[in-house]
């Protein structure tokens, strides 16, 4: 095996190590929809920054495409979204007793909602800010790329069957 992956075809998925399994899009979306907290990865002055966020996964009126909606105030996340930057949103779950877990990654363009109709829609979402209760701005991340992985022992066929979201 070529450790540099030069022999791998362009666009082919990276081989996963033993005990790690890809999650299909449908299950990724189900796992994300059940989580209230994630991390957003952005670039700040050419350096990576990871920040915790509470969010909802939903679709906008008239669309079937999933979006991540984050409530924010002025600051780093909002500044990033104002530039329509590409960001990553990652959520995960794990069971420390069985050493099993999952991770879902959403990548896409970010934007700030300014349109009055979009703002009215966003204000109706079940999305209360945790850190700053006065946060009045909404950031949308288009779920352009969605990927996920499970690791550890094989989980039940549905993420909620065991009572754990792992």
The pLDDT tens digits of the residues spanning 18-48 come to 778 999 999 999 999 999 999 999 998 889 9
pTM of whole model > 0.85? Answer: no
Q: Report pLDDT digits (tens) over 72-100.
A: 888 778 888 878 899 999 999 988 888 89
Report the pLDDT averaged over residues 3-28.
71
DSSP state letter for 69: E
Of 77 and 106, the one with more pLDDT: 106
Q: Is 50 exceeded by the pLDDT of residue 5?
A: no
**Are 55 and 87 within 8 A, CB to CB?**
no
**In angstroms, rounded to a whole number, what is the distance separating the alpha carbons of residues 131 and 129?**
6
**Are 70 and 87 within 8 A, CB to CB?**
no
Residue 12's pLDDT is 62
> Could you tell me which CATH number the domain at 20-151 has?
2.30.110.10
Q: What are the extents of the domains in the chain?
A: 20-151
* Residues sharing a CB contact under 8 Å with residue 73, sequence separation 6 or more, in sequence order: 129, 132, 134, 135, 136, 137
Q: Report pLDDT digits (tens) over 112-163.
A: 999 999 999 999 999 987 777 778 899 999 999 999 999 887 655 555 444 4
Residue 77's pLDDT is 84
Residue 155's pLDDT is 52
Residue 135's pLDDT is 80
Q: Please, what is the Cα angle at 43 between 3 and 127, to 5 degrees?
A: 115
Residue 138: name the closest of 66, 81, 59 by CA. 81
Q: Is 90 exceeded by the pLDDT of residue 69?
A: yes
């Amino acid at each position: 095996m070529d450790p540099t992956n030069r022999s791998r075809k362009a666009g082919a998925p990276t081989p996963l190590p033993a005990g790690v399994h890809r999650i299909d899009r449908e299950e990724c979306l189900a796992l994300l929809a059940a989580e209230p907290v994630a991390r957003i990865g952005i670039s700040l002055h050419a350096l990576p920054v990871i920040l915790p966020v509470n969010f909802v996964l939903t679709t906008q009126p008239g669309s079937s495409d999933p979006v991540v909606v984050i409530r924010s105030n002025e600051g780093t996340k909002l500044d990033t979204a104002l530039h329509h930057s590409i960001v990553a949103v990652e959520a995960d779950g794990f069971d420390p007793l069985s050493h099993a877990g999952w991770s879902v990654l959403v990548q896409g363009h970010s934007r700030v909602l300014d349109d009055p109709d979009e703002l009215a829609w966003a204000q109706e979402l079940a999305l209360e800010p945790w850190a700053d209760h006065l946060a009045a701005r909404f950031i949308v991340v288009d779920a352009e790329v969605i990927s996920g992985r499970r690791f550890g022992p094989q989980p039940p066929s549905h993420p909620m069957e065991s009572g754990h979201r792992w």
